[in-house]
Amino acid sequence: MPVQPRRASESDAASETVRLSGVGFGYAATHRALRDVSLTLPAGSFHFLTGASGAGKSTLLKLLTLSERPLTGSLELFGEDVTAAPRRALPAFRRRMGVVFQDFRLLDHLSAFDNVALPLRLTGGKQADYAGDVEEMLDWVGLGDRMDDCPPSLSGGEKQRLAIARAVVTRPDLILADEPTGSVDAVMAERLLKLFQSMNRLGTTVLIASHDEALAERSGATVLRLEGGRLSGRAP
């Protein structure tokens, strides 16, 4: 595990990383993707979010990445109400997150190395300072020999691993992953799950949206279920 410890402080650990209160959201006036969702993710917790396709998992993650805002209710991140936070305030919250998108969102014109280094570069890091971390992370996800290759030349599974490496390389306070094991084999899925668990043990809050109920059960994490835009159950 290449990630160096950056333990959440005691006050962080006692606080909530995410709090949704009565959140509703819809892309069209007639259809609500999320209805009255209330949810709290304590700092350092590990949750799986499961549900059928169209249940609202990706929409909930879009709200948490601040790509969309709740139409009703409130959203707090890292103890701050961001329901109506101005656009200029968003980068500071996003820099504390690592996000694995379902469609990877890799930059096709950049090499695997530069894709993983992207969040470090955007915070003003120097290549000399982060090159070692990036290479170690790429090695860990099994892409150490593909550093100079661009995403179009990678397979779906390799792209997914690259996206995960980019999400965790900054050692974020919150990891949000949308179907992070959807394109990899069972062995790699277990390996990636261990990566998320390692990050969680170091104090990172993790929320993984997945339709893979078996993986969620095996993880031992708290499982949240979304059905028709509502949180319908919570399993230990």
Partner 1 sequence: MIGRLLRNRAPLLPRDAGGEVWLAGLIAVLCFLACLSAVGAICADRAAHGWARELRSEATVQVRPRVGETGAEAAARAAQTLAGVEGVEEAEAMDRESAEALLRPWVGDAVLPDLPIPYMVTVRLERAAPAGAVTLSRALAEAGLDATVDDHSLWRGEVERSAGLITLLAVAAFLLTAGAAAAAVAYATRAGMAAQSQVIGTLSLNGASDGAIAGLYQRRYGLLSAGAGAIGALVVMLMVAALRFLGGTEGVTPALPLAWSDLLIVSPCPLLAATVALVAARFTALARLKRGH
By CB under 8 A, name the binding residues for partner 1: 65, 67, 87-88, 90-91, 94-95, 99, 101, 105-111, 113-114, 118-119, 121-123, 127-128, 131-132, 135, 147, 166
35 vs 121, which CB is nearer to partner 1?
Answer: 121
In the complex, the smallest distance separating the C-beta of residue 219 from partner 1, rounded to whole angstroms, is: 25
Q: Dihedrals φ, ψ of 218, to 5°?
A: -65, -30
- In this complex, which beta carbon is closest to partner 1, that of residue 111 or of residue 222? 111
Instruction: Find the largest Cα–Cα distance for the chain.
Output: 52
Residue 187 beta carbon to partner 1: minimum distance, rounded to whole angstroms:
28
Q: How far is CA 136 from CA 101, 119, 140, 197, in A?
A: 22, 16, 6, 18
Residue 117 or 184 having the CB closest to partner 1: 117
CB of 207 to partner 1, least distance (A): 16
Nearer to partner 1, 52 or 89 (CB): 89
Shortest Å distance, C-beta 47 to partner 1: 21
Task: State the sign of the Cα–Cα–Cα–Cα dihedral 153, 157, 163, 169.
Answer: negative
Quick one: which H or E segment has residue 79? none
Cβ atoms of 57 and 29 within 8 Å: the answer is no
The distance of closest approach from Cβ of residue 217 to partner 1 in the complex, given in angstroms and rounded to an integer, is: 30
The conformation of residue 36, written as its DSSP 8-state character, comes to: E
Which of residues 136 and 190 has its CB atom nearest to partner 1 in the complex? 136
Cβ burial, residue 145 (10 Å; 0-12/13-18/19+): exposed
Minimum Å gap between C-beta 120 and partner 1 is 10
Closest to partner 1 by CB, 99 or 137? 99
Which of 148, 120, 151 minimizes the C-alpha distance to 133?
120
CA dist., res. 20 & res. 189, Å (int): 29
